[in-house]
A and B are shown apart, each in its own frame.
Chain A
Amino acid sequence: MSALEITDLTVRYQSITALTGVSLNVKIGEMVAVVGPNGSGKSTLFKTIIGLVRPTNGKILIFGREPRTVRGRTAYVPQKEEVYWDYPLTVWDLAAMGKIKTVGILKGVPKGDRSVAEALRAVGMEDLAERKISDLSGGQQQRAFLARSIVQGADLYLMDEPLAGLDADAEDKLFDVLLELKRKGKTIIMSTHDISSTLELFDGVLLLKGRVIAYGRPREVLTEENMKLVYGSERVAMHLGDVRRVAKWD
């Protein structure tokens, strides 16, 4: 069974067509990157998968079922601008939000909750549990959101541009967590506009520009030819040479 199966998805906003005929099949336990320049429809694709945007045409199945019926199994890690960082919430508060649907209405999550503590340990944030989320670094924020998804018990992780503004060290720590999740059979789909050597860690890369340009293994998708189709610039193509060399594909 596939974790995510998209068939011929088209999304139109009034006069703008954001996505045309996108089909995608992600197997359980895979880690897939959605790559494309700004405005290529990455966010629209994510928003359609999580049900915020209604597709004009096409079908989406999550774990073989209608997305509506498997809500608890999908986790979404928002882009940085999509949440209100002013909130005086601690890392623990954020992680505990993952229990909101299971703890029951009118009840709070007990401070000693095991699943929250375990999730914080899994993302390496147990020592920062009482830290205010706005005081965290970008990488720590991403991992705190992952802790919330772990608490939620999600099987499909959708992350919109989690690598934006992260330094190499923060990226490594994030991938440590993601690879561990993948080892446990979780499916991870992440969007990024950055072509970097981290892409070799993925099972698949979806190259998007309003439609699917290519989908497959990273080394097969990230070719000079495809890059020119998507980015249309020599500079990106040159940069790709470095990426392929670091990833030892050439």
Chain B
Amino acid sequence: MIQLLLEPFQYNFMQIALVTSIVVGIVTSILSCFIVIRGWALLGDAISHSVLPGIAIAVALNVPLVIGALVAGIGSSLLIGYTETKFKVRNDTAIGIVLTGAFALGLVILSRLRPTVDIFHVLFGNVLGVTYDELLFTSASASIVLIIVGLFMKEIVVYTFDPIYAKVIGLPASLIHYMLMSLLSLCIVASIQTAGIILVVSLLIAPGATAYMFAGRMSQMFSISLLAGVVSVIIGLYISYYFAVSSGGAIALVATLIFFVSSMVKLLRTSALR
């Protein structure tokens, strides 16, 4: 058994893959808590899709991917807000329109540049192909996200819990909102290699959703979410290695399974108590 667990990590690429995945698991599961509580699941999905044209344009202009992705992520959250308030459409309609529109734009641009970018990897990740430099980039982005969330935790909690109160006492509510959207975009960019921009959404929702069922306070919410997220990426990585399947797919699948299994446990437990 131990042999089976250790065997993959005699290879350097697997060691890098493991560390990268864990970093991604940590940063996504922390943001996941806010996304689930605030009902931002669809918004997270939209931002991750919108990152695609940013990446495509960055490739075309030969600028760092992270810049394109950040601009696109923040731009799309602004566009969603604008569409919703100015054109008076429902929030989910605004998200749906921006999400598909942005994704289509990215696809159109990338299909012109196909030889230089593997679109399959951008969409679904390829953690086994992560280089050392990419690991450093992922770790740096994740650290920035975690440090900012840590430093402004109480402001973020107040704004996300009671946005009106935040405005009344004079907190910079829109600044906090767009800071969160930027962190989300950065987190998605950091996760491209591991899970891809489509499947990262599962890591941004499932761990928080799992934690939400059991947590009585914020600290528990974060710890359970972290546990669920990190366990998902590690098991996903093993599955990907042993069965030679898509890493992003395996990770997202494990995160989803963990959510459903814990839901069942919770359901059985509450009905047993009754």
Please give the residue numbers on chain A whose beta carbons come within 8 Å of chain B beta carbons, in ascending order: 50-52, 71-72, 74-76, 78, 82-84, 86-90, 93, 97, 100-101, 103, 105-106, 108-109, 132, 148, 152
Contact = CB atoms under 8 A, between A and B. Distances in A.
Given A88-B216, A100-B154, A71 B169 contact: yes
B260 interface: no
B169 A52 contact: no
B83 interface: no
A93 to B, nearest CB: 7
Contacts of A105: 152, 155
Nearest to A74: B168
Contacts, number: 85
Given A50-B164, A78-B165, A88 B171 contact: no
B261 interface: no
Nearest to A88: B215
B212 A88 contact: yes
B221 interface: yes
A93 B217 CA distance: 9
Nearest to B219: A88
12 contacts: A71-B169, A84-B161, A86-B37, A87-B157, A88-B215, A89-B161, A97-B154, A97-B161, A100-B158, A105-B155, A106-B152, A132-B217
B212 A86 contact: yes
B162 A82 contact: yes
Interface in B214-232: 215-218, 220-221
Contact of B38 (A71, A84, A100, A109): A84
B151 interface: yes
A148 B73 CA distance: 35
B155 A88 contact: no
A78 B162 contact: yes
Contacts of A76: 164-165, 168
Contacts of A84: 37-39, 160-162
Contacts of B215: 88
Nearest to B166: A100
B167 interface: yes
Interface of B: 36-39, 151-155, 157-158, 160-162, 164-165, 167-171, 212, 215-218, 220-221
B216 A97 contact: no
Given A52-B164, A86-B212, A100 B169 contact: yes
A87 B37 CA distance: 6
B164 A82 contact: yes
Given A87-B37, A132-B217, A100 B171 contact: yes
Given A83-B165, A93-B218, A132-B216, 4 more contacts: A51-B168, A86-B37, A87-B37, A89-B161
B85 to A, nearest CB: 12
B1 to A, nearest CB: 36
Given A50-B164, A84-B37, A89 B169 contact: no
Contacts of B158: 97, 100
Nearest to A87: B161
A71 B168 contact: yes
Nearest to A160: B164
Given A78-B162, A83-B162, A84-B162, A89 B168 contact: no
A70 to B, nearest CB: 10
A86 B161 CA distance: 9
Contacts of A83: 161-162, 164-165
Nearest to B153: A108
Contacts of A82: 162, 164
Contacts of B37: 84, 86-88
A217 B86 CA distance: 42
Given A84-B38, A84-B162, A89 B170 contact: no
A51 B160 CA distance: 19
B264 to A, nearest CB: 21
